[in-house]
Chain A
Amino acid sequence: MSAVLLTRLKITDLTAWTALEAGRRLLEPGHALTRIVREQLLLFEPEAGARAESFESRLEEAVRHSNFFVNPNKETYRLLTSAERGEVWSPPEGAWGILARTREETADEGLKQRLLREHSMPGLASIRRAKVWWLWSRGPDGGPAIPALSRALGILRDQKHGLLVNPHGEAAMELTDGTPWAVVERFLIDPAPAFRAAA
Protein backbone atom coordinates (compact mmCIF):
# COMPACT_ATOMS: atom_id res chain seq x y z
CA MET A 1 0.00 0.00 0.00
CA SER A 2 1.26 3.44 -0.94
CA ALA A 3 1.09 6.76 0.85
CA VAL A 4 -0.71 9.59 -0.90
CA LEU A 5 -0.19 13.34 -0.69
CA LEU A 6 -2.99 15.57 -1.98
CA THR A 7 -2.34 19.29 -2.31
CA ARG A 8 -4.62 22.07 -3.39
CA LEU A 9 -4.44 25.84 -3.51
CA LYS A 10 -5.88 27.63 -0.53
CA ILE A 11 -5.68 30.89 -2.45
CA THR A 12 -8.21 31.20 -5.26
CA ASP A 13 -7.61 28.53 -7.88
CA LEU A 14 -8.12 30.48 -11.08
CA THR A 15 -7.68 27.36 -13.19
CA ALA A 16 -10.55 25.67 -11.37
CA TRP A 17 -12.67 28.81 -11.77
CA THR A 18 -11.93 28.88 -15.50
CA ALA A 19 -12.77 25.18 -15.77
CA LEU A 20 -16.06 25.91 -14.03
CA GLU A 21 -16.89 28.82 -16.36
CA ALA A 22 -15.80 27.02 -19.53
CA GLY A 23 -17.42 23.78 -18.39
CA ARG A 24 -20.81 25.34 -17.75
CA ARG A 25 -20.97 26.40 -21.41
CA LEU A 26 -20.59 22.77 -22.47
CA LEU A 27 -23.47 21.39 -20.44
CA GLU A 28 -26.69 20.10 -21.92
CA PRO A 29 -29.87 21.91 -20.83
CA GLY A 30 -31.10 20.86 -17.40
CA HIS A 31 -27.62 20.14 -16.08
CA ALA A 32 -25.72 22.29 -13.61
CA LEU A 33 -22.16 22.50 -12.40
CA THR A 34 -21.81 24.26 -9.07
CA ARG A 35 -18.18 23.83 -8.08
CA ILE A 36 -14.83 22.45 -9.25
CA VAL A 37 -11.82 21.77 -7.04
CA ARG A 38 -8.43 20.76 -8.40
CA GLU A 39 -5.89 18.71 -6.45
CA GLN A 40 -2.41 17.45 -7.25
CA LEU A 41 -1.79 13.87 -6.21
CA LEU A 42 1.56 12.30 -5.38
CA LEU A 43 1.60 8.57 -4.80
CA PHE A 44 4.58 7.28 -2.81
CA GLU A 45 5.05 3.71 -3.90
CA PRO A 46 7.12 1.36 -1.74
CA GLU A 47 9.71 -0.98 -3.18
CA ALA A 48 8.61 -4.56 -3.83
CA GLY A 49 8.53 -6.34 -0.48
CA ALA A 50 8.74 -3.06 1.46
CA ARG A 51 5.91 -1.20 3.19
CA ALA A 52 5.09 2.49 3.05
CA GLU A 53 5.39 2.57 6.85
CA SER A 54 9.17 2.39 6.37
CA PHE A 55 9.28 5.96 5.04
CA GLU A 56 5.97 7.51 6.05
CA SER A 57 7.12 9.20 9.24
CA ARG A 58 10.08 10.77 7.44
CA LEU A 59 7.77 11.78 4.61
CA GLU A 60 5.40 13.40 7.07
CA GLU A 61 8.29 15.46 8.47
CA ALA A 62 9.48 16.39 5.00
CA VAL A 63 6.01 17.57 4.05
CA ARG A 64 5.47 19.50 7.27
CA HIS A 65 8.89 21.09 7.75
CA SER A 66 10.06 21.88 4.24
CA ASN A 67 8.62 23.61 1.23
CA PHE A 68 9.51 20.60 -0.83
CA PHE A 69 5.99 19.45 -1.57
CA VAL A 70 3.77 22.14 -0.14
CA ASN A 71 4.04 25.91 -0.08
CA PRO A 72 2.13 26.65 3.14
CA ASN A 73 1.50 30.23 2.06
CA LYS A 74 -0.50 29.10 -0.92
CA GLU A 75 -1.39 25.46 -0.50
CA THR A 76 -3.05 23.11 1.88
CA TYR A 77 -2.50 19.37 1.95
CA ARG A 78 -3.67 15.98 3.13
CA LEU A 79 -1.12 13.24 3.67
CA LEU A 80 -2.89 9.90 3.64
CA THR A 81 -0.66 7.28 5.14
CA SER A 82 -1.19 3.67 4.18
CA ALA A 83 -2.80 3.03 7.59
CA GLU A 84 -5.03 6.10 7.57
CA ARG A 85 -6.33 6.10 4.05
CA GLY A 86 -8.45 2.93 4.32
CA GLU A 87 -9.30 0.57 1.47
CA VAL A 88 -11.32 3.00 -0.62
CA TRP A 89 -11.02 6.60 -1.71
CA SER A 90 -14.26 8.46 -1.14
CA PRO A 91 -14.89 11.78 -2.90
CA PRO A 92 -15.66 14.91 -0.87
CA GLU A 93 -19.31 15.09 0.08
CA GLY A 94 -21.56 15.63 -2.92
CA ALA A 95 -18.69 15.42 -5.40
CA TRP A 96 -17.33 12.99 -7.94
CA GLY A 97 -13.94 13.11 -9.52
CA ILE A 98 -11.84 12.73 -12.63
CA LEU A 99 -8.35 11.41 -11.97
CA ALA A 100 -5.95 12.25 -14.80
CA ARG A 101 -2.42 11.05 -15.40
CA THR A 102 0.03 11.48 -18.23
CA ARG A 103 -0.12 8.67 -20.79
CA GLU A 104 3.60 8.25 -20.34
CA GLU A 105 5.51 7.13 -17.26
CA THR A 106 3.88 8.66 -14.18
CA ALA A 107 6.92 8.20 -11.94
CA ASP A 108 8.81 11.45 -11.46
CA GLU A 109 12.38 10.29 -11.05
CA GLY A 110 13.71 13.85 -10.87
CA LEU A 111 11.41 14.67 -7.96
CA LYS A 112 12.43 11.49 -6.16
CA GLN A 113 16.13 12.22 -6.62
CA ARG A 114 15.71 15.77 -5.37
CA LEU A 115 13.82 14.48 -2.34
CA LEU A 116 16.41 11.85 -1.55
CA ARG A 117 19.22 14.41 -1.69
CA GLU A 118 17.73 16.03 1.42
CA HIS A 119 15.57 13.40 3.08
CA SER A 120 16.35 9.72 3.16
CA MET A 121 13.28 7.57 2.49
CA PRO A 122 14.11 3.93 3.04
CA GLY A 123 11.99 1.63 0.90
CA LEU A 124 10.62 4.33 -1.41
CA ALA A 125 10.45 3.02 -4.99
CA SER A 126 8.86 5.88 -6.86
CA ILE A 127 6.79 9.04 -6.65
CA ARG A 128 3.95 9.07 -9.16
CA ARG A 129 2.05 12.15 -10.24
CA ALA A 130 -1.59 12.67 -11.13
CA LYS A 131 -4.24 15.36 -11.00
CA VAL A 132 -7.76 15.21 -9.59
CA TRP A 133 -10.72 17.31 -10.60
CA TRP A 134 -13.58 17.18 -8.08
CA LEU A 135 -16.91 18.21 -9.54
CA TRP A 136 -20.21 19.08 -7.90
CA SER A 137 -22.93 18.62 -10.49
CA ARG A 138 -26.65 18.15 -10.84
CA GLY A 139 -28.80 16.64 -13.56
CA PRO A 140 -32.50 17.05 -14.33
CA ASP A 141 -33.40 14.37 -11.75
CA GLY A 142 -31.41 16.08 -8.99
CA GLY A 143 -28.63 13.49 -9.05
CA PRO A 144 -25.04 14.23 -10.08
CA ALA A 145 -25.65 13.06 -13.69
CA ILE A 146 -22.11 11.72 -13.86
CA PRO A 147 -22.32 10.13 -17.35
CA ALA A 148 -23.66 13.34 -18.93
CA LEU A 149 -21.22 15.55 -17.07
CA SER A 150 -18.34 13.26 -17.85
CA ARG A 151 -19.22 13.38 -21.57
CA ALA A 152 -19.44 17.16 -21.45
CA LEU A 153 -16.40 17.94 -19.31
CA GLY A 154 -14.18 14.89 -19.17
CA ILE A 155 -12.24 13.48 -22.08
CA LEU A 156 -11.85 15.94 -24.93
CA ARG A 157 -13.41 14.54 -28.09
CA ASP A 158 -14.23 17.58 -30.18
CA GLN A 159 -14.78 21.30 -29.83
CA LYS A 160 -18.13 20.79 -28.09
CA HIS A 161 -17.43 17.71 -25.96
CA GLY A 162 -14.81 17.34 -23.29
CA LEU A 163 -12.47 19.75 -21.60
CA LEU A 164 -10.41 18.57 -18.66
CA VAL A 165 -8.44 15.71 -20.23
CA ASN A 166 -6.81 15.58 -23.66
CA PRO A 167 -6.72 11.80 -24.21
CA HIS A 168 -3.66 12.01 -26.46
CA GLY A 169 -1.58 13.29 -23.59
CA GLU A 170 -3.46 11.93 -20.60
CA ALA A 171 -5.50 8.97 -19.41
CA ALA A 172 -8.38 9.40 -16.99
CA MET A 173 -10.64 7.46 -14.66
CA GLU A 174 -13.77 8.49 -12.81
CA LEU A 175 -13.82 8.57 -9.03
CA THR A 176 -17.31 7.89 -7.80
CA ASP A 177 -18.49 6.43 -4.50
CA GLY A 178 -15.56 4.70 -2.86
CA THR A 179 -12.94 3.79 -5.48
CA PRO A 180 -10.61 1.09 -4.10
CA TRP A 181 -7.11 2.45 -3.61
CA ALA A 182 -5.78 -0.70 -5.26
CA VAL A 183 -7.56 0.37 -8.47
CA VAL A 184 -6.08 3.87 -8.21
CA GLU A 185 -2.61 2.41 -7.70
CA ARG A 186 -2.94 0.16 -10.75
CA PHE A 187 -4.22 3.08 -12.81
CA LEU A 188 -1.12 5.10 -11.93
CA ILE A 189 1.39 2.27 -12.20
CA ASP A 190 0.23 0.35 -15.30
CA PRO A 191 0.76 1.70 -18.83
CA ALA A 192 -2.10 3.91 -20.00
CA PRO A 193 -4.74 2.06 -22.02
CA ALA A 194 -4.80 2.52 -25.80
CA PHE A 195 -6.93 5.27 -27.27
CA ARG A 196 -8.51 5.63 -30.71
CA ALA A 197 -9.53 9.11 -31.84
CA ALA A 198 -12.25 7.76 -34.12
CA ALA A 199 -13.83 5.43 -31.57
Chain B
Amino acid sequence: MANVAVLQIPGVNCEYETARALGAVGLNARIVRWNEPASVWSEFDAYVLPGGFAFQDRIRAGAVAAKLPAVDRIAAEAERGKPVLGICNGAQILVEAGLVPGFHPGRVEMALAPNRAPRREGYLCRWTWLRAGQGPGREWFAALAEPDHVIPMPIAHGEGRFLTADPEVRDRIQKEGLVLYQFVAPSGGPAQAFPFDPNGAMFQAAGITNVAGNILAFMPHPERATWLRQVPMDLKNDWGGRRRSAVGQWEALEGPGPGRVIFASLALKLASRVGEGARS
Protein backbone atom coordinates (compact mmCIF):
# COMPACT_ATOMS: atom_id res chain seq x y z
CA MET B 1 0.00 0.00 0.00
CA ALA B 2 1.39 3.38 -0.96
CA ASN B 3 2.15 5.87 1.81
CA VAL B 4 0.98 9.44 1.42
CA ALA B 5 2.02 12.39 3.59
CA VAL B 6 -0.61 15.04 4.26
CA LEU B 7 1.30 18.15 5.21
CA GLN B 8 -0.01 19.88 8.32
CA ILE B 9 0.97 23.53 8.60
CA PRO B 10 -0.36 25.96 11.23
CA GLY B 11 -3.61 27.32 9.82
CA VAL B 12 -4.38 24.40 7.53
CA ASN B 13 -7.82 22.95 8.32
CA CYS B 14 -8.60 20.19 5.83
CA GLU B 15 -5.92 17.67 6.74
CA TYR B 16 -8.19 15.13 8.45
CA GLU B 17 -10.84 14.93 5.74
CA THR B 18 -8.10 14.81 3.10
CA ALA B 19 -6.46 11.88 4.91
CA ARG B 20 -9.86 10.16 5.10
CA ALA B 21 -10.45 10.68 1.40
CA LEU B 22 -7.04 9.17 0.63
CA GLY B 23 -7.88 6.25 2.90
CA ALA B 24 -11.12 5.72 0.99
CA VAL B 25 -9.15 4.84 -2.15
CA GLY B 26 -6.84 2.47 -0.32
CA LEU B 27 -3.92 4.77 0.34
CA ASN B 28 -2.16 4.86 3.66
CA ALA B 29 -2.34 8.54 4.60
CA ARG B 30 -0.44 10.05 7.49
CA ILE B 31 -0.70 13.63 8.68
CA VAL B 32 2.83 14.97 8.97
CA ARG B 33 3.69 18.21 10.76
CA TRP B 34 5.65 20.87 8.95
CA ASN B 35 8.43 20.79 11.53
CA GLU B 36 9.15 17.07 11.57
CA PRO B 37 12.76 16.07 10.89
CA ALA B 38 13.97 16.41 7.32
CA SER B 39 14.53 12.66 7.06
CA VAL B 40 10.81 11.88 7.40
CA TRP B 41 9.81 13.16 3.97
CA SER B 42 11.62 10.59 1.88
CA GLU B 43 9.60 7.79 3.52
CA PHE B 44 6.50 8.64 1.49
CA ASP B 45 5.39 7.75 -2.02
CA ALA B 46 3.22 10.86 -2.50
CA TYR B 47 2.40 14.17 -0.85
CA VAL B 48 -0.79 16.16 -0.41
CA LEU B 49 -0.88 19.78 0.70
CA PRO B 50 -4.42 20.23 2.01
CA GLY B 51 -6.69 23.25 2.11
CA GLY B 52 -7.00 25.88 4.81
CA PHE B 53 -5.24 29.11 5.65
CA ALA B 54 -1.59 28.33 6.29
CA PHE B 55 -0.17 31.10 8.48
CA GLN B 56 -3.56 32.82 8.18
CA ASP B 57 -2.81 33.68 4.54
CA ARG B 58 -0.67 36.54 5.85
CA ILE B 59 1.16 38.58 3.19
CA ARG B 60 -0.53 36.43 0.47
CA ALA B 61 -2.16 33.02 0.49
CA GLY B 62 0.63 30.46 0.51
CA ALA B 63 3.44 33.04 0.59
CA VAL B 64 4.87 32.16 4.00
CA ALA B 65 4.27 28.41 3.83
CA ALA B 66 6.09 28.25 0.47
CA LYS B 67 9.31 29.12 2.32
CA LEU B 68 9.13 26.18 4.73
CA PRO B 69 11.93 23.60 4.68
CA ALA B 70 9.20 20.94 4.48
CA VAL B 71 8.07 22.34 1.14
CA ASP B 72 11.69 22.28 0.02
CA ARG B 73 11.90 18.59 0.92
CA ILE B 74 8.67 17.80 -0.88
CA ALA B 75 9.98 19.66 -3.94
CA ALA B 76 13.10 17.50 -3.86
CA GLU B 77 10.98 14.34 -3.70
CA ALA B 78 8.85 15.61 -6.59
CA GLU B 79 11.98 16.07 -8.63
CA ARG B 80 12.56 12.35 -8.18
CA GLY B 81 9.17 11.75 -9.80
CA LYS B 82 6.93 11.44 -6.76
CA PRO B 83 3.48 13.02 -7.09
CA VAL B 84 2.35 16.11 -5.17
CA LEU B 85 -1.23 17.29 -4.99
CA GLY B 86 -1.95 20.77 -3.62
CA ILE B 87 -5.60 21.39 -2.81
CA CYS B 88 -6.78 25.02 -2.58
CA ASN B 89 -4.38 26.55 -0.04
CA GLY B 90 -2.01 23.73 -0.96
CA ALA B 91 -2.24 24.86 -4.59
CA GLN B 92 -1.43 28.41 -3.52
CA ILE B 93 1.66 27.13 -1.70
CA LEU B 94 2.85 25.15 -4.74
CA VAL B 95 2.47 28.19 -6.99
CA GLU B 96 4.21 30.51 -4.51
CA ALA B 97 7.05 27.98 -4.23
CA GLY B 98 7.52 27.97 -8.01
CA LEU B 99 6.72 24.25 -8.37
CA VAL B 100 3.92 24.82 -10.88
CA PRO B 101 4.19 25.17 -13.85
CA GLY B 102 7.97 24.81 -13.50
CA PHE B 103 9.17 25.84 -16.98
CA HIS B 104 12.18 27.55 -15.44
CA PRO B 105 12.90 25.33 -12.45
CA GLY B 106 12.70 27.19 -9.19
CA ARG B 107 11.28 30.36 -10.71
CA VAL B 108 7.88 31.62 -9.60
CA GLU B 109 5.92 31.84 -12.84
CA MET B 110 2.33 32.36 -11.71
CA ALA B 111 0.17 33.83 -8.99
CA LEU B 112 -3.14 32.83 -7.49
CA ALA B 113 -4.72 36.25 -7.43
CA PRO B 114 -7.95 37.42 -5.78
CA ASN B 115 -11.10 36.16 -7.52
CA ARG B 116 -12.41 38.45 -10.19
CA ALA B 117 -15.99 38.45 -11.42
CA PRO B 118 -18.36 41.31 -12.28
CA ARG B 119 -19.89 42.90 -9.18
CA ARG B 120 -18.34 40.26 -6.92
CA GLU B 121 -15.28 40.23 -4.77
CA GLY B 122 -13.85 38.26 -1.91
CA TYR B 123 -14.27 34.72 -0.72
CA LEU B 124 -16.43 32.41 -2.77
CA CYS B 125 -17.91 29.11 -1.63
CA ARG B 126 -20.02 27.13 -4.14
CA TRP B 127 -20.23 24.02 -6.29
CA THR B 128 -18.64 24.26 -9.71
CA TRP B 129 -18.35 22.06 -12.80
CA LEU B 130 -15.06 20.69 -14.11
CA ARG B 131 -13.75 18.76 -17.06
CA ALA B 132 -10.42 16.94 -17.18
CA GLY B 133 -7.95 17.59 -19.96
CA GLN B 134 -5.37 15.38 -21.62
CA GLY B 135 -2.15 16.98 -20.43
CA PRO B 136 0.88 15.36 -18.83
CA GLY B 137 -0.81 15.20 -15.42
CA ARG B 138 -3.61 12.97 -16.64
CA GLU B 139 -2.09 9.64 -15.65
CA TRP B 140 -1.42 10.88 -12.11
CA PHE B 141 -4.54 12.87 -11.33
CA ALA B 142 -7.23 12.23 -13.94
CA ALA B 143 -6.72 8.73 -15.37
CA LEU B 144 -10.15 7.66 -14.18
CA ALA B 145 -11.95 10.81 -15.33
CA GLU B 146 -14.02 10.00 -18.41
CA PRO B 147 -13.07 12.38 -21.22
CA ASP B 148 -16.41 14.15 -21.66
CA HIS B 149 -17.73 13.72 -18.18
CA VAL B 150 -18.58 16.87 -16.24
CA ILE B 151 -17.45 16.60 -12.63
CA PRO B 152 -19.14 18.69 -9.95
CA MET B 153 -16.79 19.86 -7.22
CA PRO B 154 -16.99 22.52 -4.50
CA ILE B 155 -14.67 25.51 -4.30
CA ALA B 156 -14.00 27.74 -1.30
CA HIS B 157 -11.42 30.44 -1.88
CA GLY B 158 -10.78 34.15 -2.13
CA GLU B 159 -7.56 33.88 -4.13
CA GLY B 160 -8.11 31.24 -6.77
CA ARG B 161 -7.42 33.02 -10.02
CA PHE B 162 -4.47 31.44 -11.81
CA LEU B 163 -2.61 34.11 -13.74
CA THR B 164 0.82 34.93 -15.05
CA ALA B 165 2.29 38.25 -16.14
CA ASP B 166 4.61 36.45 -18.56
CA PRO B 167 3.05 35.86 -21.99
CA GLU B 168 5.58 33.12 -22.75
CA VAL B 169 4.52 31.18 -19.65
CA ARG B 170 0.88 31.63 -20.59
CA ASP B 171 1.48 30.31 -24.13
CA ARG B 172 3.39 27.31 -22.89
CA ILE B 173 0.74 26.41 -20.32
CA GLN B 174 -1.75 26.24 -23.15
CA LYS B 175 0.51 24.55 -25.71
CA GLU B 176 1.70 21.89 -23.32
CA GLY B 177 -1.77 21.16 -21.96
CA LEU B 178 -0.95 21.92 -18.36
CA VAL B 179 -4.50 22.96 -17.51
CA LEU B 180 -5.55 19.52 -16.32
CA TYR B 181 -8.91 20.61 -14.91
CA GLN B 182 -10.97 23.43 -16.32
CA PHE B 183 -14.15 25.07 -15.06
CA VAL B 184 -16.98 24.46 -17.53
CA ALA B 185 -20.71 25.00 -17.77
CA PRO B 186 -22.90 22.14 -16.47
CA SER B 187 -23.44 21.11 -20.11
CA GLY B 188 -19.69 20.67 -20.53
CA GLY B 189 -19.44 23.74 -22.74
CA PRO B 190 -17.07 26.62 -22.01
CA ALA B 191 -17.57 28.51 -18.77
CA GLN B 192 -17.91 31.93 -20.31
CA ALA B 193 -19.01 33.90 -17.27
CA PHE B 194 -19.81 33.75 -13.60
CA PRO B 195 -20.98 31.50 -11.97
CA PHE B 196 -19.54 28.76 -14.17
CA ASP B 197 -16.29 30.69 -14.43
CA PRO B 198 -16.13 31.43 -10.71
CA ASN B 199 -12.92 33.39 -10.37
CA GLY B 200 -11.67 34.65 -13.74
CA ALA B 201 -8.62 32.36 -13.95
CA MET B 202 -6.68 32.21 -17.21
CA PHE B 203 -8.08 29.42 -19.42
CA GLN B 204 -10.78 28.96 -16.75
CA ALA B 205 -8.17 26.82 -15.00
CA ALA B 206 -9.23 24.92 -11.91
CA GLY B 207 -6.04 22.88 -11.77
CA ILE B 208 -2.63 23.29 -13.43
CA THR B 209 0.21 20.79 -13.40
CA ASN B 210 3.92 21.10 -13.80
CA VAL B 211 5.56 20.08 -17.06
CA ALA B 212 6.28 16.55 -15.85
CA GLY B 213 2.68 16.15 -14.74
CA ASN B 214 3.45 14.87 -11.25
CA ILE B 215 2.53 18.09 -9.39
CA LEU B 216 -1.02 19.41 -9.51
CA ALA B 217 -2.14 22.74 -8.07
CA PHE B 218 -5.88 22.24 -7.76
CA MET B 219 -8.26 24.90 -6.41
CA PRO B 220 -11.48 22.88 -5.82
CA HIS B 221 -11.88 20.56 -2.84
CA PRO B 222 -12.17 16.92 -3.95
CA GLU B 223 -12.14 15.76 -0.33
CA ARG B 224 -15.46 17.55 0.12
CA ALA B 225 -16.94 15.50 -2.74
CA THR B 226 -15.49 12.09 -2.01
CA TRP B 227 -18.69 10.48 -0.74
CA LEU B 228 -22.10 10.63 -2.39
CA ARG B 229 -23.57 11.98 0.85
CA GLN B 230 -21.52 15.16 0.37
CA VAL B 231 -23.21 15.94 -2.96
CA PRO B 232 -26.05 18.47 -2.79
CA MET B 233 -29.41 17.09 -3.86
CA ASP B 234 -30.15 20.03 -6.13
CA LEU B 235 -27.18 19.51 -8.45
CA LYS B 236 -28.43 19.61 -11.99
CA ASN B 237 -26.59 16.64 -13.50
CA ASP B 238 -26.56 12.90 -12.95
CA TRP B 239 -24.69 13.32 -9.66
CA GLY B 240 -27.67 15.21 -8.24
CA GLY B 241 -29.94 12.40 -9.48
CA ARG B 242 -27.77 9.76 -7.83
CA ARG B 243 -27.78 11.72 -4.60
CA ARG B 244 -31.56 12.05 -4.61
CA SER B 245 -31.98 8.35 -5.37
CA ALA B 246 -29.79 7.50 -2.41
CA VAL B 247 -31.94 9.25 0.16
CA GLY B 248 -32.43 6.93 3.12
CA GLN B 249 -30.04 4.30 1.76
CA TRP B 250 -27.06 4.48 4.03
CA GLU B 251 -24.88 2.16 2.01
CA ALA B 252 -25.48 4.11 -1.19
CA LEU B 253 -24.74 7.39 0.56
CA GLU B 254 -21.36 6.02 1.59
CA GLY B 255 -20.58 5.33 -2.07
CA PRO B 256 -18.13 7.40 -4.09
CA GLY B 257 -18.75 11.04 -4.85
CA PRO B 258 -17.44 12.92 -7.88
CA GLY B 259 -14.27 14.18 -6.22
CA ARG B 260 -13.00 10.69 -5.55
CA VAL B 261 -11.80 10.44 -9.15
CA ILE B 262 -8.70 12.50 -8.29
CA PHE B 263 -7.66 10.40 -5.32
CA ALA B 264 -8.56 7.15 -7.12
CA SER B 265 -6.46 8.16 -10.14
CA LEU B 266 -3.55 8.89 -7.82
CA ALA B 267 -4.00 5.53 -6.08
CA LEU B 268 -4.13 3.69 -9.41
CA LYS B 269 -0.91 5.24 -10.64
CA LEU B 270 0.82 4.73 -7.31
CA ALA B 271 -0.20 1.06 -7.35
CA SER B 272 1.26 0.64 -10.83
CA ARG B 273 4.50 2.26 -9.67
CA VAL B 274 4.73 0.01 -6.66
CA GLY B 275 4.20 -2.88 -9.12
CA GLU B 276 6.93 -1.52 -11.38
CA GLY B 277 9.22 -1.24 -8.39
CA ALA B 278 8.50 -4.82 -7.35
CA ARG B 279 9.28 -6.11 -10.86
CA SER B 280 12.51 -4.16 -11.24
- Other-chain residue from A14, A15, A162, A194 in contact with B165 (beta carbon distance below 8 A): A194
A112 adjacent to chain B (CB < 8 Å): no
Residues of B contacting A: mostly = loop
Tell me the smallest distance from the CB of B58 to a CB of chain A, in Å: 4
Restricting to B87-133, which residues have a CB under 8 Å from any CB of A?
A: 96-98, 103-104, 106-111, 113, 116, 119, 121
Task: Determine whether B163 belongs to the interface, using a CB cutoff of 8 Å to chain A.
Answer: yes
Judged by a CB distance under 8 angstroms, whether A143 is at the interface is no
Number of contacts between A and B (CB, 8 Å)? 89
Known A163-B59, A163-B63, A166-B96: A157·B166 in contact at CB below 8 Å: no
Check if A120 is an interface residue, CB within 8 A of chain B.
no
With beta carbons under 8 angstroms apart, the residue of B59, B113, B166 that contacts A197 is B166
Number of chain B residues whose Cβ lies closer than 8 Å to a Cβ of chain A: 33
Is B4 interfacial (CB 8 A cutoff)? no
- Interface presence of A196 (CB below 8 A): yes
Smallest CB gap from A194: residue in B? B165
CB of A168 within 8 A of CB of B108, answer yes
- Most A C-beta atoms less than 10 A away, residue of B97, B104, B165: B165
A169 within 8 A of B: yes
Nearest-neighbour CB distance to chain A for B41, whole angstroms, equals: 15
B164 contacts A166, CB within 8 Å?
A: no
A-B contact pairs, 29 of them (CB 8 A): A15-B58, A15-B59, A18-B56, A18-B59, A22-B63, A22-B67, A26-B67, A156-B63, A157-B107, A158-B107, A158-B108, A159-B71, A162-B108, A163-B59, A163-B63, A166-B96, A166-B111, A167-B108, A167-B111, A168-B108, A168-B111, A168-B163, A168-B165, A169-B113, A197-B103, A197-B108, A197-B109, A197-B169, A198-B103
Q: What residues make up the interface of B, taking CB atoms closer than 8 Å to A? A: 55-56, 58-60, 63-64, 66-67, 71-72, 75, 96-98, 103-104, 106-111, 113, 116, 119, 121, 163-166, 168-169
Known: A18-B56, A159-B106, A166-B63. 6 other contacts (CB 8 A): A22-B63, A26-B67, A110-B121, A160-B67, A168-B163, A197-B168
